[in-house]
Amino acid sequence: METTTADALAPRASYPPTPDSSPTKPTAALLPGPSVGDGFTSQEKSDALKPVFVQPWVPPADYEECQIRELHPGPRAVTFMGRVANIFDIANTPKTARSAKGCVKLCVKDETGAITVRVWFASQMPVIRLGLLVSIWSNHVSDGENGTLSSTGAPLFVSLFPERDRNCYFMVHENSDDGRLCTKPLGYRSGHPLAGLMTLQNFIDGGCDVVGAKILVVVKAVGAKKTFTRKDSSTTESISVQIHDDTAHAILGLWGINSNSPLRQVSRDTNTSNPEAIRSREGWKAGETILLLQSASCKPGRTPYLTLSSASMVDVNPAFPDADWLRHWALRQRSRESVNPLFPANTFKLQTLKHGPVRCLYTIAELDEFARVAPAETFQGCLSVLITEMKILDVWKRQMLFSGECCGTPIYANATSVQCNNCEALVGLRLNPKVVGQVMDETACVGAGKLLFSDQAWQDLFGRRPEDLLRLSNEEMKFLSDRLLFCRITLLFGWTGDESKAGGRICVLGVQS
């Protein structure tokens, strides 16, 4: 092959041929050990994004203590105290890591006025319930514009961000609440009826359309908390509370963060001897908790359904005479309707009845006549009766040997204690009074469940403790029932005219054959 002059003068290629793909730079082998980051530890990042103030909050300036009616819009370092009358939780989409995740919109009231409070949070939503006593420190009070930032009943509002702003603070009185501060209804004057107060029946019949209508009700039962899914796939919680007065019944629906108010709360600080603080953590109790509802919404139906709006206010256990009357009425009603009320302690004296110099023998008719003539008296004596009906075997087969009540709901089981389905608390049960059916003498008879036996009386009747009945077999239970049927016994009884103690039942202290 001949070589030309141009080929001889051309430089020779000293590089390898171009590969089909670009070469990759070899990576160095990873050495064992911590990875190289940005120089900050995870704890330092957490402290920067979610600062925790270890030291207790100290006011940086002098805050003027005042009532809510003394507040005015403008920059002013003030502190005030009140009770939570309404709660709304508002979710927020944080734009940065230090932005607020949301806020809790509160209506806080005292005996002079109400104000809207927005509590912003960055890490965790504060634990707030209806009726809690709170104190607020703020350096600015604002006026709601056209009702968009506040309600008509609480036109002024303050905005707090305690996790970011050290000039404001929000404190919940968990252990220092004695149950007496800020408990009077708004606008109440001693010796005068509360303006706008009506019965529940009048409220259902059209009184709900009245501006500022108020109703005073008592909690009858607290249902279980339920979770619902909205159309946007978000979830919310709800709880139904049965309420009533002496005229009607209804259901109060609490949604969102309000659904936590009736339930039992776990305290972060258990070292407290304040009875009111311990009582407030117990949650709402059936037959005892009184609610004063203002501007509630009502949905009519067979059972009216009440809900809270942004203009509503709720007073938990308000202090005024109408609430005291309703509480006493509810206690009598609850004791009368209870399936197994507690035996009244320290009311009767069994030893005096057994070994006293005077022991009165009554007939059932004489007992009824004496109780009607002197309804407020408390006395004790003896009854000679015949057991004409024994239901212990039927009750045992139906898993209803022991009974009790929690959250206003009857509970039956063949056990001495069970867990409540609503509040998940452990409830102690007593022997069902209906294991003894009808008893009679020569003058009258007493129906099933109208005799309230003490634990000692049950032991005298069956010859064993009530919890020992659970160890009996079917044949032994039938033998015990047949043995007591048509048996003549003497009941050492006590009677009290206070229906809140025994519910109008004959209290049996002991049994003699």
Look at residue 307 in the predicted model and tell me its pLDDT: 93
* CA–CA distance, 415 with 412 (Å, rounded to integer): 8
Q: Give per-residue pLDDT as tens, 364-390.
A: 999 999 888 888 888 889 999 999 999
CB atoms under 10 Å from CB of 248, counted, come to: 18
Distances (CA, A) of 97 to 45, 103, 255: 11, 16, 29
Residue 49: inside a domain? no
498 and 355, same structural domain? yes
Among candidate residues 439, 433, 434, the one with its CA nearest the CA of residue 389:
439
pLDDT of residue 253: 94
DSSP conformation class of 388: -
Average pLDDT, the chain: 83
| Bridge partners, residue 292, by sequence | 216, 315
Residues 109 and 153 in one domain: yes
pLDDT tops 80 at residue 303? yes
In this structure, is residue 314 part of a structural domain? yes
One domain for residues 329 and 374: no
d(CA 156, CA 168): 17
13 inside domain:
no
**pLDDT (0 to 100) of residue 277:** 60
Reply yes or no on whether the pLDDT at 36 is more than 70.
no
CATH number at residue 101: 2.40.50.140
Q: Is residue 113 part of a domain?
A: yes
Q: Specify whether 322 is located in the same domain as 250.
A: yes
Q: What is the pLDDT of residues 395-427, one digit of tens each?
A: 999 999 999 988 778 899 999 999 888 777 888
333 and 357 housed in the same domain: no
Q: Give the residue numbers spanning the domain of 446.
A: 350-392+433-512
Instruction: Look at residue 94 and tell me if it is in a domain.
Output: yes
Share of the chain above pLDDT 90, in %: 40
Total number of domains in the chain: 3
Q: Which pLDDT score, from 0 to 100, does residue 27 have?
A: 47
Mean pLDDT on 300-308: 91
Instruction: Tell me the three state secondary structure of residue 270.
Output: coil
The pair phi, psi for residue 393, each rounded to 5°, is: -70, -45
For helices 474-484 and 455-462, what crossing angle results, to 10°? 90
Asked whether residue 440 is domain-assigned, the answer is yes
Give me 76's structure tokens.
């002013």
Instruction: Decide if 181 is inside a domain.
Output: no
**Same-domain check for residues 289 and 369:** no
**pLDDT tens column, 187-245:** 888 889 999 899 999 999 988 888 889 999 999 988 888 888 888 888 888 999 999 99
This prediction's pTM: 0.74
Per-residue burial over 288-327, b = 16 or more CB atoms within 10 Å of its CB, e = otherwise: ebbbbbbbbebeeeeebebbbebbbbbbbbbbbebbeebb
117 and 154 assigned to the same domain: yes
Residue 124: burial class (beta carbons within 10 Å; 0-12, 13-18, 19+): exposed
267 — phi, psi (to 5°)?
-85, 145
